[in-house]
Amino acid sequence: MTHIDAGAELDPVHPVPVPAVRATGLTAAEVAERVARGQVNDVPARSSRSLPDIVRANVFTRFNAIIGVLWLVMLFVAPIQDSLFGFVILANTGIGIIQEWRAKKTLDSLAVIGESRPTVRRDGTAAEVGTSEIVLDDLIEIGPGDKVVVDGVCVETDGLEIDESLLTGEADPVVKRPGDPVMSGSFVVAGGGAFKVVRVGREAYAAQLAEEASRFTLVHSELRTGISTILKYVTWMMIPTAIGLVISQLVVQQHGLKDSIARTVGGIVPMVPEGLVLLTSVAFAIGVIRLGRKQCLVQELPAIEGLARVDTVCLDKTGTLTEGGMDVTELRSLDGYDETYVGKVLGALGESDPRPNASLQAIIDAYPDSEEWRCVESLPFSSARKYSGATFSEGNGESSTWLLGAPDVLLPAGAPALADTGRLNERGLRVLLLARAARDLDDPEVSRTVAPAALVVLEQRLRPDAADTLRYFAEQNVRAKVISGDNAVSVGAVAAKVGLTGSTVDARRLPEGTEGMARALDDGTVFGRVTPQQKREMVGALQSRGHTVAMTGDGVNDVLALKDADIGVSMGSGSEASRAVAQIVLLNNSFATLPSVVAEGRRVIGNITRVATLFLVKTVYSVLLALLVVCWRVEYPFLPRHLTLLSTLTIGVPAFFLALAPNTERARPHFVRRVMRYSVPGGVVAAVATFVTYLLARDYYTGPDSLDAETSAATLTLFLVSMWVLAIIARPYTWWRVTLVAAMGLAFVLVLVVPGLQRFFALKLVGATMPWVAVAISAVAAVALEFLWKWVDRRFPA
């Protein structure tokens, strides 16, 4: 292996010589000195919002401010019963803070498990340390798949190639030599080496960008964006409506100023869908906690939502369908090469690579190193070229150059060995060719005119859960595409073993251009000999057809595709680079966890859509009732206590259970449109039915206490119509959903029949005529709701 000490390196930004770094790295005393000076990589790797941020986000909201002011007013002008809505908001805010704090603790504990730990050489000894323990001038060793976590300058290189595409956008790996800069956010694709740290903490600008990009976030979600849009429209409607209601109630004033103020506040408070944001946060937070128990780290919260919308999953064979390890099952010598001699070559090749991949590790296990051979030069494996190599000085003084890689890449078409390779690939076996090269290893054409020496047959270990997982995706109408760098026939055979059917395509024959590749991806299922750049192009081609794409992988060759996919899923044992760019990391390395993530996302989105409809029906009928009251110049029919009771029984309690219930329906786009198409007709029907009952009751009842009787009749109608909305939202019925709806109805009946509750909520049905009229109007409204919602389904399909 080549080992080079740098006498003078160049700073990555200012090209001036910097002092040489000893190959042994810093001493313990030098590390302590730099820590004392604060020259430590102290940028916090935040995986979630801090507790103060959580409290601020849940407490200081626009609607909390509105309701808080109204609550203070009610505490001074009305009985405590009319201030219940304020205590509900306090409880809701507390629940939101507690649930998000629980989610934060879950994420932080999982982030520690999945945290990258660079290898630092100190006092001549290499050891893994936390990213925050790196100090200035540390010597960090890197190899394939490692992410560069701080800025530095190369000191040792051995065929080192670094991909800087995440920083520069350039996909081609950059060959690094001593003195060349390395930047945080890049990652190693081939070779190895060591670099000296020249910037730590907040001085490393690229490190700040990497931290910001990978931070746990609550934004860029269609669900949250949709809710924000709805709340913006609600605010616009609330302001003029509330002003008109205030003026009209103060002008009416037939029952005193305090009563008018109470009824004004009673009209404004229900316009605010205060629980909608809370339940969305709680549903996401509980989703994070549930997935955390299954060792699934959600690095970006909307990933739960995103994976639920996925209709195409691109799978990398290695680490997804198969386990990481392999076994050498057969060695076939070619062209008269002695098997013992071939074994020595393989052992020497294994020793030449300090960071072997799974294939080479299987060879190392089967063929120990021969001490007679000395490695003069090595070429690490690269996904782009599909082979590795080394030049050896043999015991007899001769030197030879050997390549180990894909037979169909190293051999010309029609070579006899390819026939054997094809038959082995059809059985799902992986085959590598050992060949002697006639050219020097640093020759760009070294793979030309090689002499085949042996075929190394490897058996891959299938994941026992792969077949069940693929079956789940098929049942959920999610298409699976296997995209691998291995031989297409071999990959196809492995896919068939786990029950994935469809045509197999060699990616080297794929058409150029996005449109042609998109057509090929629609027709094919398994793709072999795919380069890292092609993986990225395939993701883009699928997205161009309107597909929502998830990409799974664990290797450095998957990073570009993981980054560009709508959802990137990495294995916990995968490379640091793949874990850094993925939104979801499966810390238990189990592909079988993916259905749980999909199910959790569907539960969140489907249930929040249901719940949002409930809340917005209330907003619509509250605004419309206020407008009708202003136009008719009558007193607002409700006190805050009435609407607090109705909101709790028809929205608050049911919504909490519905938001956390199982839901397997695939998420659909256009959240705002889908919610509003039900909320508007539902709210209009509820408001009209309630106001008609109220007007009829005003004509029917007379006397000084008539307003209480009118309010009670209107409350009965609004409750029954709201209950019918809840009954529609709760479909399809299960035993617990029926029990939930029935329990809410029973609770309202108790309020009407228990004298103490009657007095507390100021509800008492007077006589028999108006209550039955209210029931009849509610029945007509229920029929109208059924008709309107079916018409909406036909006229405006989701």
| CATH code assigned at 500 | 3.40.50.1000
Q: What's the CATH number where 406 sits? A: 3.40.1110.10
Cis amide bond preceding 732, omega within 30: yes
Whether 694 and 624 map to the same domain: the answer is yes
In a domain, 83, yes or no: no
Q: Is the predicted pLDDT of residue 689 greater than 90, yes or no?
A: yes
Task: Dump pLDDT digits (tens) for 695-742.
Answer: 999 999 987 778 889 999 999 999 999 999 999 999 889 999 999 999
In a domain, 2, yes or no: no
CA 76 to CA 70: how far, in whole Å? Answer: 10
CB atoms within 10 A of CB 401: 22
CA 437 to CA 449: how far, in whole Å? Answer: 7
- Name beta bridge partners: 392: 375, 400
Handedness of CA 537, 540, 545, 548 (dihedral sign): positive
Catalytic residue among 82, 146, 151, 316: 316
CA 3 to CA 375: how far, in whole Å? Answer: 11
CA 753 to CA 500: how far, in whole Å? Answer: 62
Number of continuous H segments (helices) and E segments (strands) in the chain? 28, 23
Q: Which secondary structure element, helix H or strand E, spans residue 62, and what is its range?
A: helix 62-77
pLDDT class of 218 with cuts at 50, 70, 90: very low
Handedness of CA 436, 440, 443, 449 (dihedral sign): negative
Whether 261 and 190 map to the same domain: the answer is no
Task: Dump pLDDT digits (tens) for 208-217.
Answer: 554 444 443 4
Return left, alpha or beta for 320; rule: phi > 0 is left, psi -120 to 50 is alpha, else beta.
Answer: alpha
pLDDT (average), residues 254-276? 76
In a domain, 98, yes or no: no
- The pair of structure tokens assigned to 608 is 């929040």
Q: Is the predicted pLDDT of residue 618 greater than 50, yes or no?
A: yes
In a domain, 56, yes or no: no
Question: CB–CB of 498/467 below 8 Å?
Answer: yes
Please tell me the predicted confidence (pLDDT) of residue 208: 52
Whether 177 and 242 map to the same domain: the answer is no
CA 359 to CA 328: how far, in whole Å? Answer: 9
Q: Which secondary structure element, helix H or strand E, spans residue 223, and what is its range?
A: helix 222-252
Task: Tell the burial category of 218 from Cβ atoms under 10 Å away from its Cβ (0-12, 13-18, 19+).
Answer: middle
Nearest to 215 by CA among 344, 275, 301, 99: 301
Task: Dump pLDDT digits (tens) for 189-206.
Answer: 888 889 999 988 777 644
CA 560 to CA 266: how far, in whole Å? Answer: 55
CA distances (Å), origin 338, targets 345, 363, 368, 396, 524: 11, 17, 17, 17, 41
pLDDT (average), residues 483-510? 86
- Tell me whether strands 374-379 and 451-462 are parallel, antiparallel or unpaired: unpaired
The residue written with tokens 């800025």 in the block is 151
Q: What are phi and psi of 315, to 5 degrees?
A: -110, 135
Instruction: Write down which residue in 158, 186, 212 finishes a domain.
Output: 212
Task: Dump pLDDT digits (tens) for 64-83.
Answer: 887 888 888 888 887 888 88
- The pair of structure tokens assigned to 100 is 């998000």
Percent of the chain with pLDDT over 70: 89
CA 558 to CA 432: how far, in whole Å? Answer: 21
CA 62 to CA 234: how far, in whole Å? Answer: 12
Whether 13 and 156 map to the same domain: the answer is yes
CA 691 to CA 703: how far, in whole Å? Answer: 20
Question: CB–CB of 678/726 below 8 Å?
Answer: no
Q: Which secondary structure element, helix H or strand E, spans residue 34, and what is its range?
A: helix 28-36
Q: What's the CATH number where 252 sits? A: 1.20.1110.10
The number of folded domains in the chain is 4
Q: Is the predicted pLDDT of residue 165 greater than 80, yes or no?
A: no
Whether 26 and 126 map to the same domain: the answer is yes
In a domain, 381, yes or no: yes
Percent of the chain with pLDDT over 90: 20
Whether 143 and 192 map to the same domain: the answer is yes
Average pLDDT, the chain: 82
Task: Dump pLDDT digits (tens) for 464-491.
Answer: 888 888 888 888 888 999 998 888 888 8
CA 542 to CA 162: how far, in whole Å? Answer: 28
Which residues lie closer than 8 Å to 471 by C-beta, 6 or more apart? 499
The residue written with tokens 């909307």 in the block is 302
Question: CB–CB of 78/86 below 8 Å?
Answer: no
11 flagged as catalytic: no
Whether 162 and 28 map to the same domain: the answer is yes
Please tell me the predicted confidence (pLDDT) of residue 93: 82
pLDDT class of 255 with cuts at 50, 70, 90: low
CA 329 to CA 206: how far, in whole Å? Answer: 46
In a domain, 710, yes or no: yes
Q: Is the predicted pLDDT of residue 10 greater than 80, yes or no?
A: no
Greater pLDDT, 426 or 743:
743
CA distances (Å), origin 490, targets 483, 504, 505: 12, 10, 11
Q: Of 14-23, 313-322, 512-521, which range is least confident?
A: 14-23
CA 131 to CA 150: how far, in whole Å? Answer: 9
Per the document, the length of the chain is 798
Secondary structure in 3-state letters for 14-25: CCCEECCCCCCC
Question: CB–CB of 375/352 below 8 Å?
Answer: yes
Q: Is the predicted pLDDT of residue 338 greater than 70, yes or no?
A: yes
Whether 659 and 561 map to the same domain: the answer is no
Task: Tell the burial category of 765 from Cβ atoms under 10 Å away from its Cβ (0-12, 13-18, 19+).
Answer: middle
Return left, alpha or beta for 235; rule: phi > 0 is left, psi -120 to 50 is alpha, else beta.
Answer: alpha
Task: Dump pLDDT digits (tens) for 87-104.
Answer: 877 877 887 788 778 777
Whether 446 and 509 map to the same domain: the answer is no
CA distances (Å), origin 124, targets 7, 120, 140, 585, 670: 18, 10, 12, 33, 59
Whether 545 and 575 map to the same domain: the answer is yes
- The pair of structure tokens assigned to 663 is 């839901």
Whether 272 and 364 map to the same domain: the answer is no
Three-class secondary structure of residue 41 per DSSP: coil
Please tell me the predicted confidence (pLDDT) of residue 6: 34
Q: Is the predicted pLDDT of residue 114 greater than 80, yes or no?
A: no
In a domain, 595, yes or no: no
Nearest to 689 by CA among 762, 761, 621, 767: 621
Greater pLDDT, 481 or 592:
481
CA 671 to CA 660: how far, in whole Å? Answer: 18
Instruction: Write down which residue in 161, 178, 212 finishes a domain.
Output: 212
Nearest to 359 by CA among 406, 325, 410: 325
CA 227 to CA 470: how far, in whole Å? Answer: 33
pLDDT class of 294 with cuts at 50, 70, 90: confident
CA 363 to CA 190: how far, in whole Å? Answer: 19
pLDDT (average), residues 225-231? 80
Question: CB–CB of 667/601 below 8 Å?
Answer: yes
- The pair of structure tokens assigned to 405 is 């890689």
Whether 141 and 163 map to the same domain: the answer is yes
- H helix runs in 529-661, sequence order: 532-544, 559-564, 576-581, 594-632, 640-647, 653-659
Q: Is the predicted pLDDT of residue 4 greater than 60, yes or no?
A: no
CA 547 to CA 311: how far, in whole Å? Answer: 6
Please tell me the predicted confidence (pLDDT) of residue 168: 61
Instruction: Write down which residue in 530, 561, 589 finishes a domain.
Output: 589
CB atoms within 10 A of CB 36: 9
Which of 332-336, 380-384, 474-478, 748-752 has maximum average pLDDT? 748-752
Q: What's the CATH number where 156 sits? A: 2.70.150.10
Q: Residue 534's domain spans which residues?
A: 296-321+463-589
pTM of the model: 0.69
CA 351 to CA 345: how far, in whole Å? Answer: 10
Which 8-state DSSP code applies to residue 163?
Answer: E
- The four Cα atoms 249, 254, 259, 265 give a dihedral, to 10 degrees, of -10
Q: What radius of gyration do the chain's Cα atoms show?
A: 34
Three-class secondary structure of residue 332 per DSSP: strand
In a domain, 539, yes or no: yes
Task: Tell the burial category of 388 from Cβ atoms under 10 Å away from its Cβ (0-12, 13-18, 19+).
Answer: buried
- The pair of structure tokens assigned to 48 is 């979630």
